[in-house]
Structure 1
Amino acid sequence: MNHLTAADRDALADQLRAMKRNALDEIRSTTADIEASLPPSIHEVQSQADEAEAERLGDVRFAEMEIDRARLRDIEYAQQRMADGRYGICTDCGEPIPRERLLAQPIALRCTACQLAAENRQRP
């Protein structure tokens, strides 16, 4: 983390806090949407199409929530690395992650070269 100035670290910490607030707001909003879309009563008559559409919308909202939860985990992991003094160091090669990459992607775990290699390994 020595390649980052104190101002860089402060700006990145602020950015991570803002990202965390946004992720939490998204999770709360999606939770409220899911609760609002639950069927009001088992005694109401619904068509199969209505039930299918409600299920589809529920699946979409749950998927959105999982994406938000994963993003929140990534943010909290970045904050933990910052607290431990490991922030800004590539988890694969141990080299500093360029300042510009961190400013663009504060939750980055890897330098660009290692990230590309990791993505290439995941491709079939």
Structure 2
Amino acid sequence: MSVDKEKLRALCLEVKADSMIHSRIRLALKFDEVLALIDEVERLEKFEDWFVRLDQADQALSASFKAERDLLKLEIYALRQDAQRYRWLREKQTFIWLIQDWFPSDAVLTDVDAEIDAAMAKERAQ
């Protein structure tokens, strides 16, 4: 339910100013308190827009951080693959022989990672 604060304010000021009406009605309400409450509601309403903008900024930052996190996850995955390839090659005692076997002198070296991945997969399958 929406309260017409301006109408309520005007009514309070009118009743407060007219002592005849004021004495006839004999309300238990203190008009200064009603006016103070209206002022407080108006003051708090100013913060509503601020909170909405703050929430939007928070959501934008959250989305930005999630996107950055996802990029970092992809980078970490790629780095782990590279590290795994390096450890696999390093652990091989016949490193030089493997390179010469995989890439003869007349071969064109195009996709070393794919060759390493294939050799690692072949080894895992055994």
After TM superposition, the score normalised by the length of structure 2 is 0.32
Structure number, greater radius of gyration: 2
Question: Which structure is richer in relative contact order (CA contacts within 8 A, separation 6 or more)?
Answer: 1
More helix by share: 2
- Normalised by the length of structure 1, the TM-score is 0.32
